[in-house]
Structure 1
Amino acid sequence: MSANAAAAPAGGLLRNKFYQTIILSNVLLQIGIWVRNFAILFYVTDQTNNDPSAVGLIGFVEFLPIFVFSFIGGTFADKWKPRLTMIWCDFLSALSVFVVLITLLYGTWHMVYFATFVSAILSQFSQPSAMKLFKQHIAPEQLQQAMAMFQTLVAIFMVLGPSLGVITYQNFGIEVSIGVMGVAFLLSALVLYRIPRDQEIVKSESEASSKIWSDMKAGMKYVWRSPVLKSLGGTFALAGIAVGIAQTLGLYVVIERLGQTKDFLQFMLMINGIAMLIGGGAVMVLAKKISPQKLLAIGILLSSLCMIGMGISTSVPLTLGLQFMNGLGFPCIQIGISTMILQWSEESYVGRVNGVLSPMFMGTMVLMTLVAGELKEVFPLVGIYSVAGTLMFLGMLLLVPLFKHKPLQVLTDNSK
């Protein structure tokens, strides 16, 4: 733990310059991401007449790079200066978006997939760098509260983001939507200059000549030696299968099970976002009273039950109610995961731990986004969602033995 984090006052989270900057940067990124998500989704459905394979491909090009580059990005995050890494990632994301905009102006619509693809790759270098900075600049006792506040911001955009994306696309078209994305990413890069400069990384001669592959193997061994991180990986894999199915086929729940138009999806997500906002606030209050592993288990249990219910339901009020309950559990999942990774990882391994665990979730998720459209052609949505919810429940059961573990005990075991 760095001196910066250790010296952070217990009640001064919002006065922390690093935290203020990360929040502002994330606001800009959320604007770009939500405009991207809905503009590209609606644009692709308009171009392909709601083709399930084309819709599934959006998820595939977003999550495949995450699976492929997560481990590499996490390893480099432990070697590179995290502040500069984040700045360059946002700048390059903006640059790639403007390249896509130019190609759209000259006629090839398939390039919208490229914007998502490049952004997903760069996020795998930026995200673990942000986690590393959290470890450096946030006091240990504030980590779960910091993650809860961060998740609350995400929830706000779950409410506002869908409408922002839909309004931008429907009123201004795909070109303006792509332009908004690029400007948002560029402004985020500029804002990140407010973060205190990275400390110089001093390496011995042997460390300087070490191979990336050696660092990767060290990260895998680190996770394997930790019973908590190892079990978390199993939960990630099962959850990835379930989320990959639900996220890809959510549009068809709206159209086929509820008999609504695709525009109704934004209201589903707004309900989810309102619940996330409430859930994030509740977690902030309970942050010091419940362990992150229990918090994660509660969130996954809620998600599994709601997933099964939404697949069965043909009632709009019931589905919206289940979506609300699912939203209440989502902050528990996100905050629990982030806190567990930070609490059970030494600072020098944060990037690699994130890089080892994320592919376990993203790998299965990528696979399911690729085949979900094909599964829908063979199996009913009710059966698909029921299986997905059951797998999510099994992932929750893997967390139960971890309730007794304490972060200090696990770190001590890993240091042997």
Structure 2
Amino acid sequence: MLYDGRKSRRERSDSVLGNRFVKMILLSALFLQFGIWVRNIAVLFYVKKMTNDDAFAVSLISVAEFAPIFLFAMIGGTFADRWRPKITMVWCDLLSAGSIVAVLLAMEYGSWRAVFFVTMVSAILSQFSQPSGLKLFKQHVPEHLLQKGMSGYQTLISVFMIFGPTVGTFVYQSYGIETSIGVMGFAFLLSAAALAFMPRDRQDEGARRQAHIREDLKAGFRYVRSNRVLRRLGGSFVAVGLGLGLIQPTAVFLITERLGKPEAYLQWFLLANGAAILIGGALAMSFSGKLPAQKLLAFGIAANGLAIIAMGLATNYWIALVCQFIAGLVFPCINIGLGTLMLRNTDQSYVGRVNGILNPLFTGSMVLTMMLSGVLKNVFSLVPLYMLAGFGMLVGVLLLVPLFQLKEGYQA
């Protein structure tokens, strides 16, 4: 019996859900995703209502969500490397919840535009919280469980990609904007409570860095430039971002112009993609560890790129729908591969800054091609646009080929 007890403890230590940190971070993410989706849908519907469907006002929601990534990602990552990660995450959740009070007061006195403030504050604070979470992953999750941990997190995100809009719509239509924002605040408080049960920060966390903030920023860039894995990973971030940005805004035109279907058919396209991402996340979690992260990433990018090319060439709706499903099925491989490779090949003291450099590369590339996609569609039509997006992602695969010989835990 004593042997069996030791064996049971070893099995728990080899299980990703047997890790206390992973359980608490997933519980925190569950509350966060619930609050974020309720907020996103409520703010979208509320702004449309208050502005009579003004497209510019609706676009400002995306500005409030994405602009902080460019303005605060590197700064947030640098401070995440300086501060204690658990305390940083808890305070970010508490401040996000606290900002709800100010927003509700502003709305009470007639300033409906305060809803933009909710999105922006949350997005800014996430630039400090997210890299802190990655640091804790690096610190508390054993190397052999890292990929499974990232897979579990990706699966949770996938679930909310499918059910989040439905939940957000129900809360907003049933209770209105004030309650929706209040629900978001309560969800952030629950997230902070979950984080409080994580292991304590190490005593030396947050007390090691005496250099000026500017020196830390420069050191972060030098670190990425000197690390060949991170350099190639940055290239893959750009390739994926450029490809996805080209096709995301044009999906509705693929349905109506290329496939000759009404706009309503777009919902089935999105549903197929969301369901595939959920299935792909679960499959990636079950197979993670059997395929090196760099090969998992290359497979995901290659399959996604080929599916995009086939989608653009298709003239039959059902063939295009299958291609969309395949693209969604392999997409978790991209997220899991990127996250795992970055964590495995980054020293713990640089995790925040590396994330602050690489993440804007992806977002910036995607936003750039999203802005250009409409113009390029009018100039070249849909088929060349999808071909360009697909081949661009295949270039990202070529950047990863030299990394196929990497051993687990290797740091360049």
Q: TM over 0.5, yes or no?
A: yes
- After superposing the two structures, state which structure 1 stretch, 333-342 or 292-301, moved more: 292-301
CA distance in 1, matches of 2:85, 2:293: 25
CA offsets per residue over residues 24-79 of structure 1, 9 Å max, x none?
11111111122233333344445556665544443333122112211111111111
Letter paired with 1:227: R
Q: Are residues 124 and 373 of structure 1, via their aligned partners in 2, closer, same or farther at CA, if it must alter by over 3 Å?
A: farther
Residues 288-327 of structure 1: matches in 2 within 5 Å?
Answer: 288-310=289-311, 316-327=317-328
Letter in 2 for 1:233: G
Q: 1:320 to 1:94 in 2, by over 3 A?
A: farther
* Letter aligned with residue 11 of structure 1: D
Matching of residue 86 in structure 1 with residue 89 in structure 2: yes
TM-score (norm 2): 0.86
1:136 counterpart (136, 139, 142):
139
Alignment of 1:213 onto 2:214: yes
For 2:383 and 2:48, how far apart are their aligned partners in 1? Answer: 23
Q: Is the 8 A contact 1:8 1:138 kept in 2?
A: no
TM-score (norm 1): 0.85
Indicate conservation of the 8 Å contact 2:298/2:397, yes or no.
Answer: yes
CA distance in 1, matches of 2:142, 2:237: 27
CA distance, structure 1, for counterparts of residue 143 and residue 243 of structure 2: 32
1:158 to 155, 161, 164: 161
1:31 matched to which residue of 2?
34
Asked whether the 8 Å contact 2:312–2:386 carries over to 1, the reply is yes
Q: C-alpha deviations, 1:145-171, integer Å up to 9, x for none?
A: 111122111222222212212323333
**Compared CA separation, residues 396 and 11, structure 1 to 2 (3 A):** same
Alignment partner, residue 122 of structure 1: 125
Tell me the residue number matched to 1:405.
406
Q: Which amino acid aligns with 1:62?
A: E
**C-alpha displacement of 1:307:** 3.4
Q: Does the 8 Å CA contact 1:229/1:344 hold for their aligned counterparts?
A: yes
Superimposed CA distance per residue, residues 202-247 of structure 1 (whole angstroms, 9 cap, x where no aligned partner): 788xx65311111122221111111111011111122222333444
Q: What letter corresponds to residue 236 of structure 1 in structure 2? A: F
Contact 2:247 2:389 in 1 (8 A): yes
Residues 125-161 of structure 1 show CA distances to partners (whole Å, capped at 9, x for unaligned) of 1111011111111111111111112211122222221
The one-letter code sitting in structure 2 at the alignment partner of 1:174 is I
- Distance change in 2, residues 1:55/1:306 (3 Å): farther
Look up the SS of the partner of 2:119 in the other structure.
helix
User: Who is 2:273 aligned against?
Assistant: 272
* 2:16 matched residue in structure 1: 13
Cα deviation digits, residues 333-375 of structure 1 (max 9, x gap): 1110110011111111211211221121122233344555666
Name the structure 2 match of 1:149.
152
For the pair 1:334 / 2:335, whether they are aligned, the reply is yes
- More deviation, 80-89/321-330: 321-330
* Secondary structure class of the residue paired with 2:82: coil
For residues 182-204 of structure 1, what are the alpha-carbon distances to aligned partners after superposition, in whole Å with 9 as ceiling and x for unaligned?
22122211221111221112788
Q: Percent identity?
A: 49
Please give the alpha-carbon distance, in whole angstroms, between the structure 2 residues aligned to 1:312 and 1:375: 17
Q: Which has the larger radius of gyration?
A: 2
Of 346-355 and 311-320, deviating more is: 311-320
Map Cα deviations across residues 100-120 of structure 1 (whole Å, 9 max, x no partner): 344344444443333222221
Partner in structure 2 of residue 346 of structure 1: 347
Q: 1:391 to 1:176 in 2, by over 3 A?
A: farther
> Quick one: distance in 1 between partners of 2:151 and 2:324?
20
Residue type matched to 2:245 in 1? G
* 1:4 aligned residue: none
- Equivalent pair of 2:83/2:205 in contact (CA under 8 Å): no
Q: Given the alignment of the two structures, is residue 40 of structure 1 paired with residue 50 of structure 2, yes or no?
A: no
For the structure 1 residues 48 and 367, does the alpha-carbon distance in structure 2 shift closer, same or farther, using more than 3 Å as the test? farther
List alignment gaps of at least 5 residues for structure 2. Answer: 1-9
The CA deviation at 1:316 is 5.0
Letter in 1 for 2:123: A
Give distance in 1, aligned partners of 2:181 and 2:23: 27
Q: Quick one: distance in 2 between partners of 1:49 and 1:398?
A: 47
Counterparts of residues 355-374 of structure 1 (less than 5 Å): 355-370=356-371, 372=373
Report the CA distance shift for 1:55/1:252 in structure 2 as closer, same or farther (over 3 A).
Answer: farther
- Contact conserved, 1:303 with 1:326, CA < 8 A, in 2? yes
- Structure 1, unaligned runs of 5 or more: 1-6
Distance 1:179 1:317, change over 3 A: farther
2:69 to 66, 78, 89: 66
Is contact 2:83–2:206 with CA below 8 Å preserved after alignment? Answer: no
